[in-house]
Amino acid sequence: MSRKIHSDELGYVAERKNPFASGKITIYIAAQQGIDVAPDKYAVVCDAHATIVGVSSIPKARQFMKHPEFCEECMDAAATIGQQAKGCQPVKS
């Protein structure tokens, strides 16, 4: 079984382990996945908390994969374990 659990899904671009919760942070081409994040092209999804943010570029999406600040529950976990103090930078969507 592949570690990339979403790789067979429509619109899949990339995924990585969520640094603050169990599950993955996944990038999709939003329209192919049926996710409406207009006017953005890409959707970044936190599997653990079912939260989504739209972004216009892959580099921005990859920043959210490293630090999913669009997910309030992940950010609560980050604050709890002190990740904010380790140099995580906000991402502009």
User: What pLDDT, in 10s, does the model give residues 15-71?
Assistant: 999 988 888 999 999 999 999 999 999 999 999 999 999 999 999 999 999 989 999
pLDDT above 60 for 73: yes
Quick one: pLDDT at residue 83? 46
Number of Cα atoms under 13 Å in the Cβ half of residue 21: 22
Model pTM score: 0.80
Between 80 and 5, the higher pLDDT residue: 80
